[in-house]
Amino acid sequence: MVIDWWAFVQVFAAALVGSVLVVGFYSLGLRLLVLAGRVPVVAPAEFTDAITVISPTHAQRAEKRAAKAARKNPLTDGQKRLALLGAWGCFALCAIAVLSGLLLIVWG
């Protein structure tokens, strides 16, 4: 049995670069989304085996903090719009990275 170590290194490098790109673009997109004043507030989910469940009061506090942060935003409307476009661009690049990885798996 012969192991092609160069192929192993190539797959490892591709996986590492792909994961860094996906996580990096997603986190940058979330940061730009917050800068644009669109803080993502997710409603708490009820899980049967959850250790901690967010109460409605905690959810209301999170929404109040998001609204307060949106009011304190020093950016102009044009800068907020540009940040929002940048966020969606980062999310699109993240999706492209995932789809290209899937295409490499299917056709590689």
pLDDT digits (tens, 9 = 90+) for 13-48: 988 998 999 999 999 999 999 888 887 766 656 666
pLDDT digits (tens, 9 = 90+) for 43-88: 656 666 656 666 788 878 888 887 777 677 778 889 989 999 999 9
Domain boundaries, the chain: 24-37+54-108
| Cα distance between residue 62 and residue 45, in whole Å | 15
Q: Enumerate residues 6+ apart whose C-beta is below 8 A from 6.
A: none
